[in-house]
A and B are shown apart, each in its own frame.
Chain A
Amino acid sequence: DGGITQSPKYLFRKEGQNVTLSCEQNLNHDAMYWYRQDPGQGLRLIYYSQIVNDFQKGDIAEGYSVSREKKESFPLTVTSAQKNPTAFYLCASSITGVNYGYTFGSGTRLTVV
């Protein structure tokens, strides 16, 4: 079955640590996205990529980094520069072009301990 897999489901980070969230899709989608969701809130865009080896900052990119070395993979690193990283992180993918919806992964819940 095609879909998006995010791992791990839960992640705990100590102060000053970098952590990497995995996102893999087998839908052959060109575009991939990372969103952050805080409790009771909507989604805010962190980074997006519309083609391999290219990515763009979203609205809240500070303290995060990404790579897009393969079409299937779009990992997100939460760096120590992100002062308030505790949140629910969602990865999505879509066909490039107008009028296509997103397919979302099941999310990673990151907690600072």
Chain B
Amino acid sequence: SQQGEEDPQALSIQEGENATMNCSYKTSINNLQWYRQNSGRGLVHLILIRSNEREKHSGRLRVTLDTSKKSSSLLITASRAADTASYFCATDIVGGAQKLVFGQGTRLTINP
């Protein structure tokens, strides 16, 4: 049951530019989380935004959440080559027993 859809599926930008990824979901959530995955590796937790929060920052990351539109965005500012990875949103659904449901991911490539 994949409830998260991410857009775009792939994104290629120049180093120093900002990267924006979007995530839409279908049902009520407790929180929405973003993870990064480098090729062939496990996922790394980046940031969690609760359903009653609208915006959250962590270093170069900015996450927004619009529960009325059931959507979230992840902005990475001043991108670096090391940011090249796949980025996944995951939703903790209300009544879902804390099981995260992951989207299909956005593959981000930062060109030097």
Residues of B within 8 A of A (CB): 1-2, 4, 30-31, 33, 35, 40-45, 48, 50, 88, 90, 92, 97-105
Complex Cα spacing A96 to B92, Å:
12
A48 within 8 A of B: yes
Q: State whether A43 and B88 are in contact (beta carbons under 8 Å apart), knowing that A102-B43, A104-B42 are contacts in the complex.
A: yes
Q: Are A106 and B42 in contact (CB under 8 A)?
A: yes
In this assembly, does A31 line the interface, its C-beta being within 8 Å of a C-beta of chain B? yes
Known: A94-B98, A98-B92. Is A42-B45 also a contact (CB below 8 A)? Answer: no
Interface of chain A: mostly helix, strand, loop or mixed: strand
Identify whether the interface residues of B are mostly helix, strand, loop, or mixed.
Answer: strand
Most A C-beta atoms less than 10 A away, residue of B4, B33, B97, B98: B98
> Which residues of A does B touch, CB under 8 Å?
4, 6, 31, 33, 35, 41-45, 48, 50, 56, 58-59, 88, 90, 92, 94, 96-107, 109
Q: Chain B residue with minimal CB distance to A59?
A: B1
A58 touches B99 (CB 8 A): yes
Partner of B104, one of A41, A88, A109: A41
